Chain A
Amino acid sequence: MSDQNRLRELKARLPGSVESLVEEFTSPLMAAARSWGLSERDAQEAVQDSLTDFLTALDRFEGRSTLKTFLFGVLYHKCSERRRKNKREEATEDMEAAFSGRFGSLGVWNSLPRGPEEEAVNDELKAWLEECAKGLSDEQRSAFQLKTVENVATEEACKIIGVSATNLGVLMFRARNKLRECLEKKWMKR
């Protein structure tokens, strides 16, 4: 359903409009909240609050951004608040130095990069990924979730996180390489 039609139905309080909104957006919002490190309970509260805030402000929603961008933006800020309350420490290792260290003076690989490439994504590898994702900062996790999992366009992802397109590229670079380095360490210990 297009955003325009959905908003019209919601504003008219048509039967089934709230159900349709919940059906379409709950799972993607929950997946994002979980990937951003919230507990199941905190994730459910954040998603509920995001949808409630949207419906409360429905008549003032002007549609300048897509509905998906708006909802993910609200959720992003709620998740950030909760993570600050839980006093989670941000990852501080220098990804640029770690990445540069993989290459010699001519920019050639020092050694073969190793890790899963063609393997089926079984429960063990999912668990590795979950654990490695804990090493990402809030912004890195958000960028990676929005671009890779939710396939949000660059411009929309930039609005949600509040960064430029260049910075979004940097976030994606750091997120992917942190995950790859972490997975490589686990892979080599197998």
Chain B
Amino acid sequence: MSWIPSCSDVARAVSDDSYNESSPSRRVMLRLHMAVCWFCRRYAAQIRWIDRAARETWGVPAPGDADLKRRLIARLRS
């Protein structure tokens, strides 16, 4: 494998969570690529947005949860 990561290498590392788990030398090369590649920076920003949007969509209690909790407590204690 070339020691210079390509855009597809960087995009894969960003999306499969290996970007920050790579060896120190590979991490340096990934970051250098990101510093000079506008397209990859845009891609990474989109992936970060997806993660944030997912947390705001699926990571917050829904309005009906409070009522569900009351019913669950009643049922589980019986």
Contacts and interface: CB of A to CB of B under 8 A. Distances in A.
Contact of B47 (A26, A99, A112, A180): A180
A44 B68 contact: yes
Given A19-B73, A125-B53, A176-B47, A112 B39 contact: yes
Nearest to B57: A126
Contacts of A44: 68
A100 B58 contact: no
Interface residues of A, number: 56
B39 A180 contact: no
A51 interface: yes
Contacts of A14: none
Q: Which of A112, A119, A148 has the most C-beta atoms of chain B within 10 angstroms of its own C-beta?
A: A148
B35 interface: no
B53 A121 contact: yes
A35 B45 CA distance: 23
Interface string A79-111: 000000000000000000001101100111100
Interface of B: 6-9, 11-12, 15-18, 39-40, 42-43, 45-62, 64-65, 68-69, 72-73, 75-77
Given A26-B69, A103-B11, 19 more contacts: A26-B68, A27-B62, A30-B68, A52-B76, A102-B8, A103-B7, A107-B6, A107-B8, A115-B49, A116-B53, A117-B48, A117-B49, A119-B49, A121-B52, A129-B57, A148-B51, A172-B17, A176-B16, A183-B46
